Amino acid sequence: MSGLPATQMGAPAPEGGALIVAPKGGGQRQRMTRGQSIARVAILVVVLGYLILPLFAMLEFSTRGDFGSRSLDAFAAILGKQDLIDSLTTTLQIAVLTVVGMLLLLVPTMVWTIVRVPRMRRVIEFLCLLPLAIPAIVLVVGIAPIYRFMGQNFGKIGASPLTLALIDIVLVLPFAYRAIDASLRSIDTATLADAARSLGAGWVGTIVQVIMPNIRAGILSASVLAIALVLGEYTISSLLSFNTLQVVIVVLGKQDPFISVAVSFSALIFGFVLLVVIARVGAARRTNRQVEEPAV
């Protein structure tokens, strides 16, 4: 097999092809110069500093005790603030509703678009990205009358802060669309859906049993982004006078800055841990499917 400088033909593959063997010694790793190494470390330090320094400052501030001592009183006090606990509970409920609502709205719509009306894909993408271009204050001005109407006509449910999930679903669309779209593009969605339907699956079965398990990474990313958005959303909640976590933190900050910063710090750590847990769950499920034998 002359004339194959980059690769060598290996053993015959089981079905008549040939396995490609990576050339030994080929593609030697470029040696980094000392200057490049220093620049790399410097960039890493600057980025980590940018991310960690505010967290460190928050931790330092929120653990200040009397006479220069350290204290966890601000963190302990969180548990005693009922309005804080209530707002956290409400915010988490909104987060769950937002994730569920976003997935129910987006996944079937995107799958249907790909399978049945692919020419509408651009339109759906444009609609989903639209909230990025609309300032929150404009959204509130537009949506406030609807909330007023719901409050007046749908009793407790209409006036509940949980209705914020409706607007949070809209706000998270641009990010969730991108995450799910990337996953849908990584599989042949249309063919998988056709195959499932030809075998007897309905649309719900096709989406739940075939499509969703194969875009789990995108769904997890979209969910994390939705949770992060809800945990950090302040403007709309405040303008619509709902007591969510961020609103209560701001109010609290005016009364007791130590507790306010402790809550903010805890919320950040909570979000980070959530992100890691979700990422690890996704990775663990992928690993379970790996088999050590090579593909043939």
The residues of the shown chain that bind another protein, judged by CB under 8 A, are 13-17, 187-188, 191-192, 194-202, 205, 209-210, 213-214, 289, 291, 293, 295-296
Taking the complex as a whole, how short is the minimal distance between the CB of residue 175 and another protein, in angstroms? 25
Please give the structure tokens belonging to residue 227.
């949770």
Nearest in space to 218 (alpha carbons), one of 170, 181, 190: 181
* For another protein, the closer CB: 60 or 188: 188
Nearest-angstrom CA–CA distance, 189 and 197: 12
Taking the complex as a whole, how short is the minimal distance between the CB of residue 290 and another protein, in angstroms? 9
* For another protein, the closer CB: 43 or 199: 199
* For another protein, the closer CB: 7 or 37: 7
* For another protein, the closer CB: 15 or 66: 15
Taking the complex as a whole, how short is the minimal distance between the CB of residue 120 and another protein, in angstroms? 15
Taking the complex as a whole, how short is the minimal distance between the CB of residue 285 and another protein, in angstroms? 9
Residue whose entry in the numeric block shows the structure tokens 């709309």: 236
Taking the complex as a whole, how short is the minimal distance between the CB of residue 202 and another protein, in angstroms? 6
Is residue 260 classed exposed, middle or buried when 0-12, 13-18 and 19+ CB atoms within 10 A define those classes? buried
* For another protein, the closer CB: 156 or 289: 289
* For another protein, the closer CB: 96 or 120: 120
Taking the complex as a whole, how short is the minimal distance between the CB of residue 220 and another protein, in angstroms? 14
The most distant pair of C-alpha atoms in the chain lies apart, rounded to whole Å, by 82
